């Protein structure tokens, strides 16, 4: 976990004072998800700087340093605080026998399940221990979460299959938007695919450009292998990056990882 200071934390990187905790993929040394005051966040507060996808320098050396530090004082479970010095690289600040457990939230991965997976495993060489950890946990967080929770992990964009009434299947790249309640499809695509009728309702939507009235139709979708019957609104999205957004009304039973994009491993 990477800890970052904020204005709220008065320049300190302590999570309990308002610092940010950022999860790191063990294999690639790339940041993944982040928390602030125990809640997930996507950007640095007050800025549009993404907290995911940051490549940490000296990553392999950081991992080796952590293993060597813990072994130097004969701890099999420890939290090793490491700073990156401009001249000297990774430098150990302190070693905690009882580290804070917010790292579970920052990485979206329960610690107990990981401890069970390494129970009884031994390694005489620090480099081998690092490789073992990377093989067990690196770039495999999603599968681990799915195995434990029984819920599929979605990224911020997903390939969606939309079924027409005649059985035809159409594929569209959609944005997973937990800030929206209802799923929305581009109206021109809906007309092209003959999905614009019948209109079963009219929805009042308040957006950046004011209030808008949108037609609502019934749709059948396939998301991550699951069929979903929903009521989606139609809107002109020709000026948007995505022709479709999936609202939280249709995200029940899923988990959403804001650092994950389609076809891009964390």
| Statement: residue 147 has pLDDT above 80 | no
Q: Does the pLDDT at position 264 exceed 50?
A: no
| Residue 162, pLDDT score | 95
**Does 98 have pLDDT greater than 80?**
yes
Q: Lowest mean pLDDT: which of 89-98, 118-127, 215-224, 233-242?
A: 118-127
Cβ contact 229:123 at 8 Å: no
Boundaries of every domain in the chain: 2-150, 153-256
Structure tokens at 176: 């997973």
Assess whether pLDDT exceeds 70 at residue 258.
yes
pLDDT at 5: 93
Q: For residue 138, is pLDDT > 80?
A: no
Mean pLDDT for the stretch of residues 46-67: 90
208 pLDDT higher than 60? no
- Alpha-carbon distance 188 to 192, whole Å? 6
pLDDT of residue 124: 81
Query: Is residue 108 scored above 70 in pLDDT?
Result: yes
Average pLDDT over the chain, rounded to an integer: 87
Q: Cβ contacts of residue 134 below 8 Å, gap of 6+?
A: 26, 27, 63
> How much is the pLDDT for 141?
59
pLDDT at site 143: 62
| Residues 162-184 as b or e (16 or more Cβ within 10 Å = b) | bbeeeeeeeebebbbbeebebbb
Kindly indicate the confidence band of residue 151, based on its pLDDT and cuts at 50, 70 and 90.
confident
Checking if the pLDDT of 80 tops 50, the result is yes
Query: Does 266 have pLDDT greater than 70?
Result: no
CA distances from 209 to 205, 206, 242, 247 (A): 10, 8, 18, 19
> Could you report the per-residue pLDDT of 178-206, keeping only the tens digit for each?
989 999 999 999 999 999 999 999 988 87
CATH topology of domain 153-256: Cathepsin D, subunit A; domain 1 (2.40.70)
Reference 123, options 111, 139, 136; nearest CA is 136
Helices (H), the chain: 59-72, 103-107, 111-118, 126-137, 141-149, 187-192
DSSP letter for 98, please: S
């Amino acid at each position: 976990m990477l800890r970052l200071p904020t204005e709220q934390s008065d320049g300190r990187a302590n999570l309990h004072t308002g610092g940010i905790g950022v999860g790191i993929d063990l294999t690639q040394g790339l940041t993944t998800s982040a928390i602030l005051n125990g809640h997930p966040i996507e950007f640095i507060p007050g800025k549009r700087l993404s907290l995911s996808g940051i490549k940490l320098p000296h990553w392999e050396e950081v991992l080796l340093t952590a293993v060597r530090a813990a072994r130097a004082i004969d701890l099999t479970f420890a939290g090793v605080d490491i700073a990156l010095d401009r001249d000297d690289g990774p430098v150990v600040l302190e070693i905690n026998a009882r580290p804070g457990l917010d790292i579970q939230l920052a990485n979206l991965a329960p610690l107990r399940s990981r401890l069970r997976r390494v129970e009884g495993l031994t390694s005489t060489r620090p480099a081998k221990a690092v490789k073992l950890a990377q093989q067990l946990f690196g770039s495999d967080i999603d599968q681990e979460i799915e195995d434990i929770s029984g819920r599929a992990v979605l990224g911020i964009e997903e390939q969606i299959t939309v079924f027409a009434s005649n059985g035809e299947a159409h594929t569209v790249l959609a944005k997973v938007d937990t800030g929206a309640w209802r799923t929305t499809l581009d109206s021109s695509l809906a007309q092209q695919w003959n999905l614009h009728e019948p209109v079963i309702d009219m929805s009042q939507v308040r957006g950046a450009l004011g209030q808008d009235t949108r037609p609502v139709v019934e749709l059948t979708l396939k998301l991550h292998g699951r069929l979903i019957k929903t009521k989606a609104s139609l809107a002109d999205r020709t000026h948007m990056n995505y022709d479709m957004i999936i609202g939280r009304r249709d995200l029940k039973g899923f988990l959403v990882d804001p650092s994950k994009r389609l076809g891009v491993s964390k």
